[in-house]
Copies of this chain bind each other. A is one copy, B any other.
């Protein structure tokens, strides 16, 4: 049976108020302070955050709604968000949406019940209505990684379109003309990167036949099927841009199974650098996201809202990326 503040009271003979004051960093006579500390050690007292939360209406907990916890990208983000939160004395209640909008919707209510002080969302859905209950409950929200078309929330993301556009120049300047794309169309990031791709092609005066435009889900299967389709085309592309980690993985699987080799048979440009891409041959050209900065900025923004330090309208922060140069692109 864990001890409570009452036990400390019995032990020290002091009143609840004094002990509470001590617990919250208030001024207490040195001798009383000593008594209390002794009692705490003796009794192994640990504040009951539940009870505290009930009266302060603060749980010091931030909810994290993540589209899929198994994605390595999520792992990195979660790590950095967690670190930033820890530094500020907050914990995180992570809920995994499993890439499913239904689950995501339910998880929202769960977080509200848990009275989290704020929520960081890496959404599955593309529209913001699933967050209405949160808004109604007056809980601050920060979107991370993926923006919401109709959203009115703070958002931290990368410059998806520009990053893609820039990376595409690697292909273009090496004289590739027949460039295909495999992108997810379900979420914001996939669509933006697709747009960046198309802009780069347009500005380079290059055509993109519809059969070169493979749209799918954010999944390994999508990448695999997409690449397989591209590889069997009579007029096969010489290069392919893949819009995220999972798609890149699936696409490479397809290339392997087909007995082809990059960059000899096909050049590759991917998104979401993960160390593992460095251990394979060829090393793939990859757009790297600043996961640490993303996590930190999201936390910073959220805490500002939680503490009511800003009344400004929702802001959008788009961070730049860097390019990991590999050897997966052949010069034609």
Contact = CB atoms under 8 A, between A and B. Distances in A.
Given A2-B138, A93-B93, A50 B54 contact: yes
Nearest to A89: B110
B2 A137 contact: yes
Contact of A79 (B70, B249, B276): B70
A275 B248 CA distance: 12
Interface in A130-187: 133, 136-138
Interface in A65-81: 68-72, 74-76, 78-79
A32 interface: no
Nearest to A137: B2
A42 to B, nearest CB: 12
Given A48-B54, A72-B75, 10 more contacts: A2-B112, A50-B54, A68-B79, A69-B79, A69-B82, A71-B75, A78-B94, A79-B96, A253-B278, A256-B278
Contact of A275 (B83, B93, B95, B249): B249
A280 B275 CA distance: 13
A29 interface: no
How many copies are assembled?
2
Contacts of A94: 78, 82, 92-94
A127 interface: no
Given A72-B75, A82-B69, A49 B113 contact: yes
A253 B91 CA distance: 35
A51 interface: yes
A136 B54 contact: no
Given A1-B138, A279-B280, A48 B113 contact: yes
A115 interface: yes
